[in-house]
Structure 1
């Protein structure tokens, strides 16, 4: 089964069993809703802990979550540094021309002329649009904005992305 990160548990918060979570998802309102089920993976542990959210609130850049049957600090302290994940069955259907990061990362980027630029190795969230880090076999990475003028075709099945190279894009 494939698992996808949705939040990093960074600390506890207060004495009532709240945990502080840094979101690692484009859908925090959905992933961290009351009633949502998440799996907590701890470093050096093989099987996840199943958790169901019973409370949620936003605090600064964090989500403060409480879990069913976890009423105080001693119940959640052991979860610090854990990663909250969902299974592939829990992924939501996306709109047309929307993609999960794991679908984009690893794709080969080619020009309209068929020349390979490299492989998408990271996605940076800039606010206006995402920027893909495209790493060639040799040389420095390129930063390709995910905008209509540049990205012409995304073929997830064949892991290929076709772009139009504008002046200065690859320099």
Structure 2
């Protein structure tokens, strides 16, 4: 089942004395998070009064948070967006939507299921669990097709993978 809300970041600290919070985004860019006028914290909608990118993070002024003490209460909270509020470009997808998909080779033979996505550096790595664990860099050389609606990811493996 596709969940209507997606984790998109975490409030890691306050910023200044007016109640702004610093959010580390769990998206491709901090700019993506700035496009939302409502975020969800603890299952409740919170209006975003102002948001800007600052050093790969988002500095946001949230409705009802006007001082540093109130902002401190939000520290370490996970921030969500509503899936239907996001406008994804054609051919892109949320990482949450591919976890659990079958992973098949070029001949359609099932290798396992996508269990996790690691981001050790700039490049993501897919963790596939099957008869054995396979780590696959998420680059076009290895990821041939991602079909969310069809429920599979087609990959090309090389010797040693």
TM-score range, shorter chain: 0.7 to 0.9
- Normalized against structure 2, the TM-score is what? 0.83
User: C-alpha offsets along residues 125-148 of structure 1, whole Å, 9 cap, x if unaligned?
Assistant: 442x43211122x44x32112222
User: C-alpha offsets along residues 82-138 of structure 1, whole Å, 9 cap, x if unaligned?
Assistant: 111111211213222x221022211111112333222112223442x43211122x4
Contact 2:145 2:155 in 1 (8 A): yes
Contact 2:29 2:56 in 1 (8 A): no
Contact 1:20 1:64 in 2 (8 A): yes
- How far did 1:76 drift? 2.2
- How far did 1:61 drift? 4.5
- How far did 1:23 drift? 0.7
Q: Specify every segment of 5 or more residues in structure 2 that has no aligned partner in the other structure, as ranges.
A: none
Structure 1 residues 130-145: aligned runs within 5 Å: 130-136=124-130, 138-139=131-132, 141-145=133-137
Instruction: For 1:20 and 1:132, locate their aligned partners in 2 and report how far apart those are by CA, in whole Å.
Output: 29
Q: Specify every segment of 5 or more residues in structure 1 that has no aligned partner in the other structure, as ranges.
A: 42-47
- How far did 1:12 drift? 2.1
- Normalized against structure 1, the TM-score is what? 0.79
Aligned residues: CA RMSD:
2.2
1:163 equivalent in alignment to 2:155: yes
Name the counterpart of 1:151.
Answer: 143
Contact 2:14 2:20 in 1 (8 A): yes
- How far did 1:27 drift? 4.3
Instruction: For 1:50 and 1:161, locate their aligned partners in 2 and report how far apart those are by CA, in whole Å.
Output: 34
**SS of residue paired to 2:150:** coil
